[in-house]
Structure 1
Amino acid sequence: MDTTFVKGKRQVSFLAFLLVALSVLFQITVNAQSARSKDKQPLVVFVTGDHEYSGEETLPIIAAELEKNYGMKTIVLKAYPDHNSEKNIPGLEALEQADLAVFYLRWRQLPKDQLAHIEAYLKKGKPVMGFRTSTHAFNFPKGDESEKWNAFGEFALNAPPGWGGAAAHTHYGHKSSTDVTVIPEQAKNPILTGVTTTFHAKSWLYRVLPNYPTKGSQWLLMGKSVNPDKEAIDNPVAWTGTNSFGGKVFMTTLGHPEDFRLEPFQRLIINAVHWELGMKVPKEWKGKMDIQVPYREAK
């Protein structure tokens, strides 16, 4: 028998076995990396409950877009049984695992056990995003043990501490709207990637000046009231900063349902979510979302 031939066959068989083994090992490694990558998907938790701006309808569309095109996991929490329910937002324990909390609230009076989940999140110094009426997210009666939450806008979002009062936080009438302009010094800010330098928003302008946003906040967009019902001054409508817990902040006083139809506003939100999470803002826009949600008069 030709022992050289037999030996050669054994070598070929061994090499074939080795190649198969390496291929299997490679696939196991790829699968493991893929699983780890999925585990590392950031979780964005949206907390909604407002009487007026349909945040519980617009933000789920944003959430779906983040999952479909930007590799994130999302949970959307809503006031129960409907948006006018001021004392119940089930599921706030989801904040324990959240990488970013997004708030669109107005004048809630949540029970202490639910507030505790929000407080625990904030105390971790994790990032926070807020829309419009979140400046006055809570409205507890004077003397209530949870009254401190009325200042949520200030301690969480670098915004005025509630509506009216000494902060003179008000707006310029429901028949007005807002011309929005990128602050020139911020033109290269990654959050403003793809955001047109000017656009028109349906939201009536909120007054936050002269004392807010809080010191150290970075203004991104300025708003000019169109057809105001009183003498108006320009006010910032979007800013970033660090809140009193050390968490990153993105806040915008825009948020009328018709604002969500605008591509510049949509891009602003997607960009800001990435920035809040410490991720690179995507250079490529995945396309405008179809958001057709009605405005409703506040009760």
Structure 2
Amino acid sequence: MVVFVTGDHEYSSEATMPLIAAELEKNYGFRTIVLKSSPDHNSEENIPGLEALKEADLAVFFLRWRRLPADQVKHIEDYLKTGKPVVGFRTTTHAFNYPKGHELEKWNAFGEMAFNSPPGWGGKANHTHYGHESSTDVSVIPEASNNPILTGVDQKFHAKSWLYTTLPDYPSRGSDLLLMGHSVNPNKADAIDHPVAWTGENSYGGKVFMTTLGHPEDFNEEPFQRLVINAVHWAAGKPVPKKWNGAIEMNVPYRTPEN
């Protein structure tokens, strides 16, 4: 069972993740559940159904600045403590946004704890991006070219996502880099390339696949679709499919966040 946990103000994860889940069920034999913030994507304090993580073999997270209550976070923590695998997208680097002094403030570093990414937005790691007018040229890191997750993925493709910064200190814990991003039209003259996809082992001992891509238009790109399908197979301990069932119809809109 793959459980998708979604909730973000910006990238329409509550619409992209169900389409990925449906493809996994229809063509690749997975069982899936997609959980969403309630009553809508801007609802930061409620994702019903997280108890489904008790039955999950793989958890996929696409979150942004949630403030879930302790009982809901406990389901996430219990899953992580099993050492089971995780897949994460883009704003999951800053999945939580509890105020200073809150009993759950440590979860603001969820990205680092679970995905070897910078521990939240800004901060000591200066985790930021190169501006909403930019986009990203993506290329396979040569040393990773034989990684099964990259099966059938173009050596180079273009992503709508503006490039997130991670270097020099992240990804952490000896993560294996898969894809590098080069900012196109960055808002800073000193922009450098940063990894946009990696694998590794997190602080709980679980397998990790993380990508800082995830703009809805990225999901229209067949190389990115294939990367995602491959990564789910890899994380779930299944062979990456040699046969590709073709492009997935996505066409989900991007929305400017309300906060």
What TM-score results when the alignment is normalised by the length of structure 1?
A: 0.86
Map of 1:121-200 to 2, 5 A cutoff? 121-200=79-158
Paired letter, 1:273: V
Q: Residues 140-160 of structure 1, C-alpha deviation per residue, up to 9 Å, x if partnerless?
A: 000000001000000100000
Tell me the equivalent position of 1:272. Answer: 231
CA contact (8 A) 2:86 2:206 kept: yes
More helix by share: 1
Tell me the equivalent position of 2:74. Answer: 116
Distance in 2, Cα, partners of 1:186 & 1:249:
16
Aligned to 1:110, the other structure's residue is in SS state coil
Tell me the equivalent position of 2:64. Answer: 106
Aligned to 2:229, the other structure's residue is in SS state helix
Q: Does 1:51 align with 2:19?
A: no
Distance in 1, Cα, partners of 2:86 & 2:239:
17
Tell me: higher relative CO, structure 1 or 2? Use CA pairs within 8 A at least 6 residues apart: 2
**Based on CA coordinates, which of the two structures has the bigger radius of gyration?**
1
The alpha carbon displacement at 1:215 in A equals 2.8
Distance in 1, Cα, partners of 2:200 & 2:131:
28
Paired letter, 1:237: V
CA contact (8 A) 2:173 2:201 kept: no
Distance in 2, Cα, partners of 1:166 & 1:148:
15
Aligned to 1:103, the other structure's residue is in SS state strand
Question: Among 272, 275, 282, which residue is 2:241 paired with?
Answer: 282
**How many positions carry a matched residue from both structures?**
257
Distance in 1, Cα, partners of 2:32 & 2:173:
31
Distance in 2, Cα, partners of 1:185 & 1:167:
26
Aligned to 1:221, the other structure's residue is in SS state strand
Distance in 1, Cα, partners of 2:211 & 2:72:
24
Q: Residues 99-149 of structure 1, C-alpha deviation per residue, up to 9 Å, x if partnerless?
A: 000000000000000000000000000000100000000000000000010
The alpha carbon displacement at 1:198 in A equals 0.1
Tell me the equivalent position of 1:244. Answer: 203
Q: Which runs of 5+ in 1 are unaligned?
A: 1-42
The alpha carbon displacement at 1:162 in A equals 0.3
Tell me the equivalent position of 2:191. Answer: 232
What TM-score results when the alignment is normalised by the length of structure 2?
A: 0.99
Percent identity of paired positions between Structure 1 and Structure 2: 74
CA contact (8 A) 2:8 2:62 kept: yes
Q: After the TM superposition, which parts of structure 1 deviate over 2 Å for at least 4 consecutive aligned residues?
A: none
Q: Does 1:201 align with 2:159?
A: yes
Distance in 1, Cα, partners of 2:225 & 2:5:
18
Question: Among 218, 223, 234, which residue is 1:259 paired with?
Answer: 218
State the superposition RMSD in angstroms. Answer: 0.4
Q: Which runs of 5+ in 2 are unaligned?
A: none
